[in-house]
Chain A
Amino acid sequence: MAENINTRTPQEQQNTKNISPIKLELLITIVDKNKAEFYADLIQSFEVNFQFIAAARGTADAAILDVLGLDGNEKSVIFSVVRSDKLDEILYALDNKFRTIKKGKGIAVSVPFTSMIGTSVYAFLCNAADNVKGSGKNG
């Protein structure tokens, strides 16, 4: 029989119920390969601490590429963990760059996080330095 490892009292559980006031989302940005660093830097400027870039290729045919003004099939996918309250700001900046930069078109979509574990990881991902032990006024 499985041992019950939850040693918190109901009151303690109630107190720790809403420990993630800042929601996180996974932002997936698909851009041309040679623009990946530029867009990663842009996203990073919005207090984004964790990103990774994966090499990819697009599958749209030549006609669609022409219509969208896209250059080729070599792509990069940027996965970024962003705060929900910063998302609109980031998407607005990305949309602006997609429309104005030559051969800088791309798409960005966001997928909400439903759960995660680790308070220090959470603080790192949402750039909440005050919540990390040993730093700031709460340390």
Chain B
Amino acid sequence: MAEKSYEMIFCIINSGFSDTVMSAAKEAGARGGTVLRARGTAGKEAEELFKITIHPDKEVIMILVTNDIKDDVLKAIYHSAGMNTAGQGIAFSVPVNKTVGLSQ
């Protein structure tokens, strides 16, 4: 089992922007990620209130990173694909308790 401490970054983004996210994440030190298809469900009222358009087609990108590069990866994703970009991405990380299968 791994000794390093890891975090899982989740990034929810408009469909088609996963390459943008992964490029930014890799530049910040991430090795790879996994992309899932998803559907956004934000309400019409919220769209009008915040003056944004929510595309229902989403991608969820999961990137496992070590703690020491987590902030760099999150910042890179925010700058390249954050809410103020066409990708309208939301990124957050959750702590990971245990891992197996990672090559050191």
A-side interface mostly: strand
Chain A's closest residue to B100 (CB) is A95
The minimal Cβ–Cβ distance linking A66 to chain B, given in whole angstroms, is 12
A129 at the interface (CB under 8 A from B): no
Across-interface contacts of B22 in A (CB, < 8 A)? 59
Pairwise interchain contact A87-B32, C-beta atoms closer than 8 A: no
Pairwise interchain contact A111-B94, C-beta atoms closer than 8 A: yes
Chain B's closest residue to A68 (CB) is B103
Given A58-B34, A60-B32, A77-B34, A95 and B101 contact (CB-CB distance below 8 Å)? yes
Complexed CA–CA distance, A28 and B100 (Å): 11
Stretch at the interface among A10-18, A42-50, A102-110, A115-123: A102-110
Q: Which of A79-126 contact B (CB under 8 A)?
A: 87-88, 91-92, 94-95, 98, 105-112
Pairwise interchain contact A94-B101, C-beta atoms closer than 8 A: yes
Pairwise interchain contact A109-B36, C-beta atoms closer than 8 A: no
Pick the most buried of B61, B96, B97, B101: most chain A CB atoms within 10 A of its CB.
Answer: B101
Across-interface contacts of B8 in A (CB, < 8 A)? 28, 109, 111
Chain B's closest residue to A105 (CB) is B101
Across-interface contacts of A58 in B (CB, < 8 A)? 32-35
Could you list some 20 contacts between A and B, CB below 8 A? Answer: A28-B62, A58-B35, A59-B19, A59-B22, A59-B34, A59-B61, A68-B103, A75-B34, A77-B34, A77-B36, A77-B62, A87-B97, A91-B1, A98-B100, A107-B64, A107-B99, A107-B101, A108-B101, A109-B96, A109-B99
Residue numbers of A with Cβ under 8 A of B are 25, 28, 30, 54-61, 64, 67-68, 75, 77, 87-88, 91-92, 94-95, 98, 105-112
